[in-house]
Structure 1
Amino acid sequence: MIGPLMIKPCFFILFLSMIASVSGTARSQAHVPTFQNPVLWEDLADLDILRVGDTFYYSASNMQYSPGAPILSSKDLVNWKYVGHSIPVLDFSPAYDLNGGNAYVKGSWASFLNYRKSNKTFYWGGCIENKKTHIYTATDVAGPWKKHAVLDQCYYDAGLLVDDDDTMYVAYGAKTLHVAQLSPDGTHEVKSQEVFTAPAGVDYIEGSRFYKINGNYYIFTTRPPNDEYVLKSTTGPFGPYTLQKLVVSAKSPIANGGGPHQGGIVQTQKGDWYYMAFVDAYPNGRVPVLAPLTWNADGWPSLNLVDNIWPQTVPYPLSPQGKVSHTGTDHFLGASLDPQWEWNHNPDNTKWSLHKGLKLETATVGNDIYAARNTLTHRILGPVSNATIELDLAHMKDGDRAGLALFRDSSAWIGVARDRGSLRVVMENNLTMDEHWKTTATGTEVASAPISTRKIWLRASADTMANFKSGPDRTGTFAYSLDGKTFQSLGTPFSFTKDWHFFMGYRYALFNYATQSLGGAVTVSSFTVAAP
């Protein structure tokens, strides 16, 4: 019999070893870094995602904003930074210059981005206005990008696969999906074949992403607005394909957001797979979320969601590679604009410049911000953020309007108006477009105050949290300061529109337009985004 004080040393050592092992495991688990979905609280829809070496790349839609097709990069799938655009200028028609019309909700929709190892080249392609497919190429995602080809075929919502033998295939279509084989130089189509039609109960699919994994061909496709399906072929890129669901109406990690869908998959250097989807979260737009993906023994992918709930807290796919902040101040000191900036339509490059700030000369005459050229935009950050600009007014002319807007198909702004030699700070709302993107209202002045200074700070705040909880409608508010420190509210709260039809989410927008004659200018000395 062994009493309480007669434990043999070997048992005691084993006991301590077990405790140490359990304790070490607990400490290891406790220190596994995690992140919170959404990955980015920004409007980055219709994403395509890939890895080249140790770097991940992300391509998104941006419709009429120029330059087009933004690209982000990351070393860990969580911290992303803007690095460039695949479309240097939207040269598809004069409407993209706001000449003889506009191109709202046109431009770059769901498109593909992939990398071809044989010539070390990135390929971006997208169907413009349901007409022709434009393909651009670059050896560096930061550019320069150049137009490679224009194909007469419309590859709607397309995904590009570069097969093991270097042949390029494109999966595309809506409801009925096709696969096209491109020529070796990627300048024309060799053949195209129908490969699948959505069955009853699914009815409609689009948003193709094309992969070859372990000898099988997969087309990931979405049934908007909340479902994702997968097609698999074991015999080749042209099928036949069978269908399984990947995720259907999963509970969003964003309260009251839509179900995650329409994205792409990517494998890390460690061999782990992840699915990046987006969530409809207006007025912010469509924001990306990430979840681990596994493969079943029968070759089908699975997300392994518990109770069909998309995870909110997820372990980092790789060791964090340094946090990338999307807040901070831009003093516009570089030779070019940072890639997070996009113009509303193509700018008139003779009417803006960078020198100790961003100089915006008036480029159009009229009273419609939706028709005004050289409006520069920046995505709002969700769920709560604000933007502040420092504005030099010394060279404004009578009739000029310059300031900071919360910009979408229903907009509001705070700015400075010069009339009869006098300046006043103004808040306007009721700037709207109809479903055909024609202006229906050019603004109503809600409040104003006279000023007699050449410099002013303007602030727009976007609180979209109310979009994701019960309570009052989501709102934007405006304020100004004459010293950059003490801010005075101006006007009334602005209710964001929640409609999806404009597709893009709200943006902060810097503008300067004339209502009488050209010749005036303002300088934006700084732009600061904060997320309180």
Structure 2
Amino acid sequence: MGMLSWPHQPFPRRRALATAAGLAAGAVLPLTGAARAAAAPAQGPARVTAGEYANPVIWQDFADIDVIRVGDTYYASASTMHYSPGAPVLRSYDLVNWEIAGHSVPVLDFGAKYDLNGARGYVRGIWASSLAYRPSNRTFYWLGQIDFARTYVYTATAVEGPWNRLTTIGTPYYDAGLLVDSDDTLYVAYGNTTISVAQLSPDGRTQVRTQQVFTTPSSVGTLEGARFYRINGQYYIFLTRPANGQYILKSSGGPFGPYTMRQVLLDLRGPIPGGGVPHQGGLVQTQNGAWYYLAFVDAYPGGRVPALAPVTWTGDGWPVVQLVNGAWGASYPSPAVPAPPRQVTPMTGVDTFDGTTLKPRWEWNHNPDNSKWSAGNGLTLRTATVTNDLYWARNTLTHRIQGPTSTATVQLDHSAMRDGDRAGLALLRDSSAWIGVKREGGATRVVMVGGLTMDSNWNTTGTGYELASATVPGSRIWLRATADIRPGAARPGTFSYSTDGIAFTRLGPDFSMGNDWRFFMGYRFALFNHATRALGGSVRVTRFELSTP
């Protein structure tokens, strides 16, 4: 995840540091910028034949991945920061096709700022954390630190939940990796540049011991994002060099070392045109003994997206990423695994909010006020905040954007809105825009609003201004946002509306979706309804569809 040392350090500086890093035997040689450009893959998706998969395996924002296998099923966890519920658990049967199964952190109950109550938690909350499975009690464990203050552990017997907090530990295990050893002992590798290992009590509730095990050489710079493994009797700590390298520590003397270091990759060309170097993530072994590395690629404005590559091991026990023409492949042969028991649930498609709970594809911007929304026969959003600032409005419901381009279409019943209310569909990040309905003086207009902005401390610097509007009859409207999230440049988002769900009218200019990395989370589609005068109004979303061309 890496936020101790680099949230305000630009990429060029970090990459310049990388050129000083020493190359180890068997490491991937870095390419110069000119060589990377000359060898850059052509624009467009990879061409995949039968028996192959294409990268990214998920073109949605799932960063800081931890990946495990339990029996014939693969699970992965990811960072969500200020979104709630947090720490989604993804499930797959083949490492290629994934679904969202649940969330390890049901509510961000780490302070009032996560409720948008007097303070805000933007770019805080759930950072790089760890997911593990403990066979002895058939339990999943999620472990992560919050706000540099303390570490939380949640457990569940099924990834769908319920997840419950097991304990709080006073040591903040920054960028942690949890290892369930072969003798059932729990260890945690963690840290930034200075890497430590902690041993937990048998019940996982307290820290028994912690010890520094490694100091990153100055020639490498920063290492963090720990993942902890025991493989063939050796202990490994897998570490990232943000945002362009991956290193691994190996110990044959036990979990507390001593450790030796080797470079896994540095400045490696990635599989997404315009995207960054695959890094962070974790290693996982298939049922047939093959190894894979599930990393993420910086791919703003869409976020950080997972890419998969096979890994082999040297005779003396070091991992080597398998490359295609000197790069992380845009495609590889599909993993040889048993046939899946069923198809996973698509991350795109239609949601009519027919159940009383939300599907796990949805996450709120900060914790919701649960008294102000309901699902079943559509999603009802009652105004929960009086504000002219969308970044302060509670109960804004978000959905990841599907890359490389996708469209969200919402059917909205606005008949119960009140004067001063604002409801609609946003492209949400630290610079945002939206299309929606304004109710003023009993009249209803559809508007496109831009100019919602934050500064680098995530304080609001612009609450938005109308760029286009039109009068709309009736009580129903269809709102549409299309997002281009191909990385490498700012990309356009466009808005349109319809009064019949068939013919759509473009509204307003293109919205430029910036590709700066510092907000970490990528752009999302967001449903919102907030008051600017008084509470009491509501809207009903009867249909949401996420579609790709």
TM-score w.r.t. the length of structure 2 is 0.90
- Residue 493 in structure 1 maps to residue 510 in structure 2: yes
Cα separation, partners in 2 of 1:455 and 1:303, compared to 1, 3 Å: same
1:441-484: CA deviations, max 9, x gaps?
0001000001121000000000123x348xxx411000000000
Letter in 2 for 1:345: H
Instruction: Tell me which stretches of 4 or more aligned residues in structure 1 moved more than 4 Å.
Output: none
Deviation at 1:314, TM superposition (A): 1.1
Partner of 1:9: none
Match of 2:379 in 1: 358
Equivalent-residue separation in structure 1 for 2:215 and 2:392 (angstroms): 41
| CA shift for structure 1 position 497 | 1.5
Structural mapping, 1:120-519, within 5 Å: 120-318=138-336, 321=340, 322=343, 324-465=345-486, 467-468=487-488, 473-519=490-536
> Cα offset for 1:201?
1.5
User: Counterparts of 1:316 and 1:308 in 2: how far apart (Å)?
Assistant: 19
Give the total of aligned pairs. Answer: 499
Following superposition, the deviation at residue 335 of structure 1 comes to 2.2
SS in 2 for 1:394: coil
User: Aligned partners of 1:72, 1:314: CA distance in 2, in Å?
Assistant: 21
Q: Which amino acid in the other structure matches residue 386 of structure 2? A: V
Paired amino acid for 2:347: H
- Structure 2 Cα separation of the partners of residues 398 and 260 of structure 1: 49
- The 2-side partners of 1:400 and 1:268 are apart by 52
Q: Does 1:86 align with 2:104?
A: yes
Contact 2:68 2:75 survives alignment (8 Å): yes
Contact residue 254 and residue 468 of structure 1 kept, 8 A = no
Tell me the amino acid that sits aligned with residue 522 of structure 1. Answer: V
For 2:548, the equivalent position in structure 1 comes to 531
Q: Distance in 2 between matches of 1:31 and 1:288?
A: 20
- The AA in structure 1 aligned to 2:516 is D
Distance in 1 of aligned mates of 2:345 and 2:215: 42
CA distance in 2 between partners of 1:323 and 1:91 (Å): 31
Q: Deviations over 1:131-165 (max 9, x none)?
A: 10011011111100001001110100000111111
* 1: CA distance, partners of 2:243 / 2:392: 31
Instruction: Name the CA distance, whole Å, in 1 between partners of 2:516 and 2:224.
Output: 21
Alpha-carbon separation, structure 2, partners of 1:498 and 1:468: 7
CA distance in 2, matches of 1:151, 1:409: 32
Q: 1:50·1:114 contact (CA, 8 Å) conserved in 2?
A: yes
Which amino acid in the other structure matches residue 140 of structure 1? A
Q: 1:35 aligns with which of 42, 49, 53?
A: 53
How far the C-alpha of 1:307 sits from its partner, in A, is: 4.7
Q: Distance in 2 between matches of 1:417 and 1:284?
A: 28
Q: Report the Cα distance in structure 2 between the residues aligned to 1:41 and 1:479, rounded to whole angstroms.
A: 24
* Distance in 1 (alpha carbons) for counterparts of 2:459 and 2:324: 45
The RMSD of aligned alpha carbons is 1.2
What amino acid is aligned across from residue 47 of structure 1 in structure 2?
A: I
Q: Distance in 2 between matches of 1:429 and 1:72?
A: 33
Query: Structure 2: 5+ residue runs without aligned partners?
Result: 1-47
TM-aligned CA deviation for residue 194 of structure 1:
0.5
Aligned equivalents of 2:352, 2:49: Cα separation in 1: 38
Instruction: Tell me which amino acid in the other structure corresponds to 1:371.
Output: W
Instruction: Tell me how far 1:308 sits from its aligned partner.
Output: 3.2
Cα shift at 1:370: 0.2
Give 1:318 deviation, angstroms.
3.1
**Cα distance in structure 2, aligned partners of 1:200 and 1:393:** 59
Q: 1:41-84, CA deviations, whole angstroms, 9 ceiling, x for partnerless residues?
A: 00000000000010000100000000010011000001100010
Residues 411 and 431 in structure 1, CA contact (< 8 A), matched pair in contact too:
yes
SS of 2:371's partner is: coil
- Which residue identity is paired with 2:84? S
Alpha-carbon distance in structure 2 between the residues aligned to 1:164 and 1:354: 44
| Letter of the structure 1 residue corresponding to residue 231 of structure 2 | I
Once residues 239 and 456 of structure 2 are traced to their aligned partners in structure 1, the CA distance between those partners, rounded to angstroms, is: 27
Aligned sequence identity (%)? 59
Is the Cα contact below 8 Å between 2:322 and 2:328 reproduced in 1? no
1:119 correspondence with 2:140: no
